[in-house]
Structure 1
Amino acid sequence: MKIFAPILLLLLAFASCKKPQSFEYRDLRNFKIDSLGFQNSSISMDLVYFNPNNFGVDLKHIDCDVYVEHNYLGKYILDTTMHIAKKSEFVVPSKMNVNMKNLFKNTLTSLFTKELLLEVKGTTKVGKGGIYITVPFSYSGRHEFSIF
């Protein structure tokens, strides 16, 4: 019975926890082209999110694919641990290599429209107290973009 009491208490604590809400995308800042090439280019930016939860978490790893107008743009990987406070905005520094061949597919579309469809699909590891879980995520939204 002494063995089951702590396990039962732990199960009750987990059962009473509210399901965490997803981070909310807020803004893109400091967009910069680091290197420009015919095959590949490198870009960097700061992505701003908001944690709507009443608890902080640690973000350990992000691995995702980025698409513009359904065309693969590149892979983004963040392999560092960040602490995210409860009910607060946070910035994810982002750097990715872009396949220029796929970017050129979107050039004609970009010239004639003010909005582009941006899609991000991948996984992230989040946790607390050294216990992490892999969480899949998907984002799709139209964003204003102008080359002029």
Structure 2
Amino acid sequence: MQIVRTSLAAVAVTVLLTSCSKVEAPQFRSVGSFKVKKIDFQQVDIGLNVTYYNPNNFGVTVKEAVVDVYLDSVYMGKFTQPEDVAVDKMADFSIPLIGAIPIAKALQLNFRDALNKEVEVKAAGSVRVGKAGVYITRDINYQGRHRVDIKL
């Protein structure tokens, strides 16, 4: 009986969310706050934020983002979201991502030049978003040019 109630609640929430208005995808704003968190002989730990705008008239929670990140066609590695993010209705929000890049990959990039020009950023992966305990998985596919401001 509990499973039936949970399933009905999930269906009700989904119907409410989709029937009230058309659900719009978040609008990409920027990639920024690149920060080298730690460097050792094996890897470089990097953090960054991806900022979006929620055009919907309801908030959600974003969790479990996992993306493969490329800078100037060099695969940097898999980046994950360390904490859930509460998203307000009709507001900007940032998703923090962290990843460990093998030192050999980091050396393939010329960081000195990267600080003086825009680099091609490509991200592909998925994210789980939801409300009231009902979560769905959405694909993430992004490509664009950005200036990388690295903070040590």
Q: Identify the TM-score tier after normalising by the shorter chain.
A: 0.7 to 0.9
CA gap of 1:146–1:56, structure 2 versus 1, over 3 A, is closer
Is the contact made by 1:120 and 1:140 (CA closer than 8 Å) also made in structure 2? yes
Unaligned regions of 5+ residues in structure 2, if any?
A: 1-7
Which structure has the larger Rg?
A: 1
* Structure 1 match to 2:132: 129
Matched, 1:26 2:30: yes
Identity in percent: 28
2-side partners of 1:131 and 1:117: how far apart?
35
Is the contact made by 1:114 and 1:146 (CA closer than 8 Å) also made in structure 2? no
C-alpha deviation, 1:108, in angstroms: 8.4
Is the contact made by 2:82 and 2:96 (CA closer than 8 Å) also made in structure 1? no
Matched, 1:89 2:92: yes
Aligned-partner residue type, residue 49 of structure 1: Y
Matched, 1:118 2:121: yes
Match of 1:102, SS state, is helix
Give the counterpart of 1:140 among 138, 143, 150.
143
C-alpha deviation, 1:82, in angstroms: 2.1
For normalisation by structure 1, the TM-score amounts to 0.76
For normalisation by structure 2, the TM-score amounts to 0.74
- Which moves more between the two structures, 117-126 or 72-81? 72-81
* Structure 2 match to 1:71: 74
* Structure 2 match to 1:51: 54
C-alpha deviation, 1:101, in angstroms: 1.5
C-alpha deviation, 1:74, in angstroms: 1.5
Is the contact made by 2:62 and 2:86 (CA closer than 8 Å) also made in structure 1? yes
Is the contact made by 2:23 and 2:56 (CA closer than 8 Å) also made in structure 1? no
Segments of 4+ moved more than 6 angstroms: none
CA gap of 1:93–1:34, structure 2 versus 1, over 3 A, is same
User: Which structure is higher in RCO with an 8 Å CA cutoff and minimum separation 6?
Assistant: 2
Match of 1:20, SS state, is coil
Aligned-partner residue type, residue 131 of structure 2: K
C-alpha deviation, 1:38, in angstroms: 3.5
Match of 1:80, SS state, is coil
Is the contact made by 1:25 and 1:49 (CA closer than 8 Å) also made in structure 2? yes
C-alpha deviation, 1:96, in angstroms: 1.6
2-side partners of 1:100 and 1:131: how far apart?
39
Unaligned regions of 5+ residues in structure 1, if any?
A: 1-5
